[in-house]
Amino acid sequence: MNASPARFLLVVAGLAAALAPLWVLESFHLFQLTMAVIMSLAVLGLNIVTGYNGQISLGHGAFFAIGAYVTSILMAQADWSFYATLPFAAAICGMVGYAVGLPALRLGGLYLALVTFSLAVAVPQLLKHKALEAWTGGVQGLFLMKPDPPRWLTSVLPLNADQYMYLNVLIVSGICFLLAWNLIRGRIGRALMATRDHPTAAEAMGMDIAALKTGAFAVSAMITGVAGALSAVAVEFVAPDSFTFLLSITFFVGMVVGGVASILGSIFGGLFVLFVPNIAESISRAAPGVIYGMILIIFLFLLPEGFAGLVRRLLAKLSSPGNPQPK
Amino acid sequence: MTISRRLLLAGSAGALAAPNIAAAQEAPGVTATEIHIGSTNALSGPVSSYSVISRCLEAMFKRLNDAGGVGGRRVKFTVYDDAYQPPRTLEQTRRLVERDRVAFLFNQLGTPTNSAVHRYVNQRSVPHLFLATGADKWANPREFPWTMGWQPSYRVEAQIYTKYVLEQRPNAKIALLYQNDDFGRDYLHGVQDVLKDRFRSMVVTATNEATDPTIDSQIVQLQATGADVLICGVVPRFAAQAIRRVHDIGWRPMMFMTNVSVSVGVVMQPAGVEKGVGLITSDYRKDQSDPAWAQDAGMNEWRDFMRRYVPDGDLGDNNYTYGYGAGTTMIQVLRQCGNDFSRENVMNQARNIKPMEVATLLPGIKVQTQPDNYNVIRQMQLQRWNGQSWERFGNVIEGAG
Amino acid sequence: MEAFLLQLAAGIATGGIYASVALAIVMIYQATHHVNFAQGEMATLSTFIALTMIQAGLPYWVAFAGTLVVSFVMGALVERLIMRPVQHAPILTHVGVYIGMLLIIGNMTGWVFGYTIQMFPSPFEGGKPMLGGLFSSHQLGSVVVTLAVLILVYLFFTKTSLGLAMRAAAYNPRSARLVGIRVDVMLALGWGLAAAIGSVAGMMVAPIVFLDPNMMLGILLYAFAGALLGGIDNPPGAVMGGFLVGVLENLAGAYIVGTDLKLTVALVIIIGVLVLKPSGLFGRVVFTRV
């Protein structure tokens, strides 16, 4: 197994890699990276309920949208500061996630996929509804402003708004990733996976399946909702059209490509769904969608377990070459 | 290279306060041989039907370059895909402005998508010209001086229909079918603008989503209210369905259709040309499949262009006549720039277009701007379908300023 | 009362559209135990191919038959080339591949055939509305075709040995191999058959909604809902489910919540039903032994 010093070095390297862009990248690429980190966070959320707990959700775009709109409404209509809105967005998304998790207990596989997908399709329509228009801005959407870096920070470290946003996103995501990692590593994580792989045995052993599954949905929704809140401020604009069912599909693609049930995979997945469409476009301006689909399929042919699967195999080979590895 | 936002805001305010000061030395996107123009469109995803507009514009710039370019320079036109998702529009626009350093932005598609970049481009003083959307909010020279639409707004179009109804049937009961997005909502607002308090008593509404398979249910519902006027703000697929359905259930209201969905080849023929007789629209473009323009000089100019520069283009698609009009306007602005293609001058010329005829616009309807009036096309012409072609009637109407 | 009847008729007519697509979905599920999200796009592509044949001068039914054949081949090829390499991958990877196919086929259709809506001819065009103006002759004709396909499918699966072999291969590939069934061939056949049925759905739907690359987008969701509502392993149930969804959606929009919440309400109702009866209204409940 990895020795502790090696792991510590990895963590330091990871931190350095995460912070380096602040100095290395100019505004536009930093903005892209910020969006990629947000996507990774959203994919992490999806991973918790679908990857680790086996409940297929094709509707995480809905939680992303709710988080984004809670933050936007509080900031635009009630003049809250961005930071104050985050716990609110998390809490409300958690509650909605729990509410979705309850009927989900009765459904499995395909049925749950459809139900969550219809949630994703319904959310834009709900956001546009007349009754909520005064708050949500209806089809016109709401405009926000990125927070400016506070003076005490800029006196030490001159940062522009883009850099400050990146730092914020990094810190919030970092906290969420850490919490998720802790959760997965521990008893609850094992219980989630047990429920996914051997539900009858898990129940026979006395695990409260219902609590686990609804809890998973709640936590998952919270994390993706926080990602949504971050995205609202990063883009400085929300509109129902930003949250179509394509978004849910994008998160799903990110999860599968990155590697299901993998924290590292979520990071890769986020990078993939942000940057590969641009790569596809540079290959073919006429039909970027076709190329993106092809890249996706070829990727899955080569790496059916995603990027994290590749990493796992490489690590296995490195740690004891020549010895047969238990799966 | 850090850019302070406050500095930018101050800078653009300064530039606007003194528009006659000569252009700054730096003219991003402009070299001695090239002008780089940027755009975004939905090249993939559910609304990628509009991507042909960008193809049309690319072809027009190619034609311009073949003829020697403008101001001694060739035009390089870059279009990025945003899949009609506002966050991606922001990303691609920032790429165009910050990484590709284009001179300015032209004909970006969509209302929510352009909304996402509206403040950004105005803060950075980047000309954001001739947007491909009929929303009303782009003609706002005071608050957003760098942004300018092109086509007449849907809201004004709805106002025109409502005023006509009040003239012809003052006690009408109006049924309004509109798509549940910013496009359709503009029709709702236009009708509300004219009727004000009478809206509630005179109008019944029904909406549809872009993903609905049919709108038969909505038509049946509206007919049941006893309305004798029907205004439709829906896309071509639903327009064809609506015209057919209204006729088949025996309803004969005074019917209006958005000019987005009145193409002879794409809407009237699929619906059944005899079923739409009496349909009224208010348009600014010539319809290429209308026999009235078969020998028209302007349309022949367009057909010739299509034949030579877009040989595999669908001649029945009126996105190509739309693109030709927007492209012609853009090229006119470039010509007016002379040798100075700085952002300030481009914007200056864009807000000073003398009334100009365009090959694909109806006779009497001209493209024009003034510094205090950014409505590039502000005139429309009422037309009625007679079973074979669109008959113009009445005078050219000037919409609200 | 007349308005209600018209709404009901509109609902049944729309339901007919959903039912025919739902049937294709159930077909592929019966044959492969997978749900192909790209089903709609494949059906649209098939319909465009049919239109090309008709525009080239072929009579309708010849083009119809030709399209069936082409679609069958397409489906089988998709199974061989795209599904085969990932057949042992986890189910989530499969969904990822379906999404990839959705993107490829959907965007390619638009690129190749253009985006303007097209008229698609109907073989039942007498033009005169029937049943007192409630239905068009085409709508009735397409319902008849859907039911005919349903009956053929049902007979195929229950009465023929090939059909039985296909179901066995999908349900329990290992046991099927043990009894000598060529599972891989069955899978390819199943996909081919499903694509052919999908093309029928497309050709029946296109005259009503007009043909363009995005024709199936909205229909697919409702068709899935109908299939699940009726029971994913139950072809007649899926057809009933399709009709139910159509009627529910229209009546909800007209009488309960207004058209701007139509989508939401219809889906809420479906979810409610599924929560109460998770295998669908007519599906079989499967018990797993521990």
In CATH, what number is assigned to the domain containing residue C267?
1.10.3470
Q: Which of residues 239-268 of A touch C (CB under 8 A)?
A: 249, 252-253, 255-257, 260
Interchain contact C274–A (C-beta under 8 A): yes
Question: Helix, strand, coil: what percent of chain A each, to 5?
Answer: 80, 0, 20
Report yes or no on B384 lying in a domain. Answer: no
Report yes or no on C120 lying in a domain. Answer: no
* ipTM for this prediction: 0.88
pLDDT at residue A102, rounded to an integer:
87
pLDDT at residue B1, rounded to an integer:
37
Report yes or no on A171 lying in a domain. Answer: yes
Across B195-222, b (16+ Cβ under 10 Å) vs e yields: beeebeebbbbbbbbbbbbbbbbbbbbb
pLDDT at residue B7, rounded to an integer:
45
Closest-CA distance of chain A to residue C217, Å: 11
Residues in C closer than 8 angstroms to B216, CB to CB, are: 10, 13-14
pLDDT at residue B82, rounded to an integer:
92
Residues in B closer than 8 angstroms to C208, CB to CB, are: 213-214, 241
Interchain contact C264–B (C-beta under 8 A): no
Q: For A226, how many CA atoms within 13 A lie in the half-sphere containing its CB?
A: 29
Interchain contact A152–B (C-beta under 8 A): no
Report yes or no on B10 lying in a domain. Answer: no
Interchain contact A279–B (C-beta under 8 A): no
Across the interface, whether the CB atoms of C219 and B213 are under 8 A apart is answered yes
Can you give the residue range of the structural domain that contains C259?
A: 2-114+129-288
**In chain A, where do the E strands start and end?**
142-143, 237-238
Closest-CA distance of chain C to residue A12, Å: 32
Residues in A closer than 8 angstroms to B87, CB to CB, are: 35, 231, 235, 242
Interchain contact C67–B (C-beta under 8 A): no
Interface test with chain B among C116, C119, C128, C256, by most B beta carbons within 10 Å = C116
Number of domains in chain B: 2
Residue pair C134/C5 in contact by the 8 Å Cβ criterion: yes
On whether both B184 and B102 belong to a single domain, the answer is no
pLDDT at residue B25, rounded to an integer:
42
Comparing CA positions, the residue from C287, B101, B62, C134 lying closest to residue A26 is B101
Tell me how far apart the alpha carbons of residues A238 and B116 are, in angstroms, rounded to a whole number.
8
Tell me how far apart the alpha carbons of residues B266 and B284 are, in angstroms, rounded to a whole number.
17
On whether both B325 and B247 belong to a single domain, the answer is no
Comparing CA positions, the residue from B319, B321, B353, B317 lying closest to residue B334 is B353
Residues in A closer than 8 angstroms to B85, CB to CB, are: 241-242, 244, 246-247
Closest CB from C14, C214, C217 relative to B216? C14
Q: Which residue of A has its CA nearest to C104?
A: A290
Q: Which phi and psi (to 5°) does residue B380 adopt?
A: -145, 165
Interchain contact A32–B (C-beta under 8 A): yes
Report yes or no on A256 lying in a domain. Answer: yes
- Give the domain-ending residue among B250, B283, B316: B283
pLDDT beyond 70 at A225: yes
Across the interface, whether the CB atoms of B217 and C209 are under 8 A apart is answered no
Mean pLDDT over the full length of chain A: 88
Residues in A closer than 8 angstroms to C35, CB to CB, are: 110
Tell me how far apart the alpha carbons of residues C228 and B23 are, in angstroms, rounded to a whole number.
65
Chains in touch with C (3+ beta-carbon pairs under 8 Å) read: A, B
Closest-CA distance of chain B to residue C12, Å: 11
pLDDT at residue C64, rounded to an integer:
92
On whether both B333 and B371 belong to a single domain, the answer is yes
Number of domains in chain A: 1
Report yes or no on C20 lying in a domain. Answer: yes
On whether both B264 and B315 belong to a single domain, the answer is no
Q: Which residue of A has its CA nearest to C265?
A: A122
Number of domains in chain C: 1
Closest CB from A118, A130, A301 relative to C225? A118
Closest CB from B5, B90, B115 relative to A161? B5
Interchain contact C219–B (C-beta under 8 A): yes
Report yes or no on A324 lying in a domain. Answer: no
Mean pLDDT, contiguous 10-residue spans, chain B (401 residues): 43 42 61 94 85 93 94 94 92 94 95 93 94 88 93 90 91 93 89 91 90 87 92 92 91 93 87 92 89 91 94 86 94 93 93 93 92 90 90 80 39
Interchain contact C101–A (C-beta under 8 A): yes
Report yes or no on C123 lying in a domain. Answer: no
Residue pair B133/B109 in contact by the 8 Å Cβ criterion: yes
Q: Tell me the two tokens of residue B28.
A: 């991003």
pLDDT beyond 50 at A89: yes
Cα-based angle A194, A198, A202 (whole degrees, multiple of 5): 65
On whether both B183 and B270 belong to a single domain, the answer is yes
On whether both B292 and B330 belong to a single domain, the answer is yes
Report yes or no on B83 lying in a domain. Answer: yes
Closest-CA distance of chain B to residue A213, Å: 32
Q: Which residue of C has its CA nearest to A252?
A: C96
Can you give the residue range of the structural domain that contains B217?
A: 154-283
On whether both B182 and B275 belong to a single domain, the answer is yes
Which value, to the nearest 10 degrees, does the dihedral of the CA atoms of residues A22, A26, A31, A33 take?
-60
How far, in Å, are A105, C68, C188, C191 from residue C73 at the CA level?
40, 9, 9, 9
- Where residue B316 sits, what CATH number does that domain have? 3.40.50.2300
Across the interface, whether the CB atoms of C274 and A110 are under 8 A apart is answered no
Closest CB from B240, B250, B317 relative to C210? B240
Tokens 């055939």 -> residue: C113
Range among A146-160, A187-201, A258-272 with highest mean pLDDT value? A258-272
Across the interface, whether the CB atoms of A103 and C93 are under 8 A apart is answered no
Q: Which residue of A has its CA nearest to C276?
A: A106
Interchain contact B48–A (C-beta under 8 A): yes
Summarize the confidence of residues C28-32 as an average pLDDT: 77
Interface test with chain C among B214, B248, B322, by most C beta carbons within 10 Å = B214
Q: Which residue of A has its CA nearest to C97?
A: A297
Across the interface, whether the CB atoms of A128 and B181 are under 8 A apart is answered yes
Report yes or no on C107 lying in a domain. Answer: yes
Report yes or no on C24 lying in a domain. Answer: yes
Report yes or no on B59 lying in a domain. Answer: yes
Tell me how far apart the alpha carbons of residues C224 and A187 are, in angstroms, rounded to a whole number.
37
> Percent of chain C, pLDDT > 90?
15
pLDDT at residue B19, rounded to an integer:
40
Interface test with chain B among A24, A28, A30, A132, by most B beta carbons within 10 Å = A28
Q: Which residue of C has its CA nearest to A258?
A: C93
Residues in B closer than 8 angstroms to A246, CB to CB, are: 45, 83, 85
How far, in Å, are A216, A220, B138, C278 from residue A98 at the CA level?
8, 9, 42, 19
Report yes or no on B2 lying in a domain. Answer: no
Can you give the residue range of the structural domain that contains A11?
A: 4-319
Report yes or no on A326 lying in a domain. Answer: no
pLDDT beyond 80 at C282: no
Interface test with chain A among C99, C112, C269, C287, by most A beta carbons within 10 Å = C99
Report yes or no on C124 lying in a domain. Answer: no
pLDDT at residue C132, rounded to an integer:
56
pLDDT at residue C130, rounded to an integer:
57
**In B87-233, where do the E strands start and end?**
104-106, 128-129, 174-179, 203-208, 229-233
Specify the pTM: 0.88
- Where residue A199 sits, what CATH number does that domain have? 1.10.3470
Question: Helix, strand, coil: what percent of chain C each, to 5?
Answer: 75, 0, 20
On whether both B158 and B109 belong to a single domain, the answer is no
On whether both B278 and B290 belong to a single domain, the answer is no
On whether both B129 and B170 belong to a single domain, the answer is no
How far, in Å, are B381, C69, C102 from residue C76 at the CA level?
54, 11, 16
Q: Which of residues 231-250 of A touch B (CB under 8 A)?
A: 231, 235-237, 239-242, 244, 246-247
C227-255 pLDDT tens trace: 888 888 788 888 899 999 889 888 887 88
Across the interface, whether the CB atoms of C100 and A293 are under 8 A apart is answered yes
Chains in touch with A (3+ beta-carbon pairs under 8 Å) read: B, C
Comparing CA positions, the residue from B109, C267, B115, B231 lying closest to residue A139 is B115
Closest CB from C114, C221, C254 relative to B317? C114
Across the interface, whether the CB atoms of C104 and A293 are under 8 A apart is answered yes
Contacts for C185 with CB less than 8 Å, ≥ 6 apart:
none
Closest-CA distance of chain B to residue A28, Å: 6
Report yes or no on C121 lying in a domain. Answer: no
Closest CB from C7, C217, C260 relative to B207? C260
Summarize the confidence of residues A85-103 as an average pLDDT: 92
Across the interface, whether the CB atoms of A118 and C267 are under 8 A apart is answered yes
pLDDT at residue C286, rounded to an integer:
60
Summarize the confidence of residues A12-17 as an average pLDDT: 86
pLDDT beyond 70 at C223: yes
pLDDT at residue B188, rounded to an integer:
93
Interchain contact A287–C (C-beta under 8 A): yes
C148: left (phi over 0), alpha (psi -120 to 50) or beta: alpha
Across the interface, whether the CB atoms of B213 and C116 are under 8 A apart is answered no
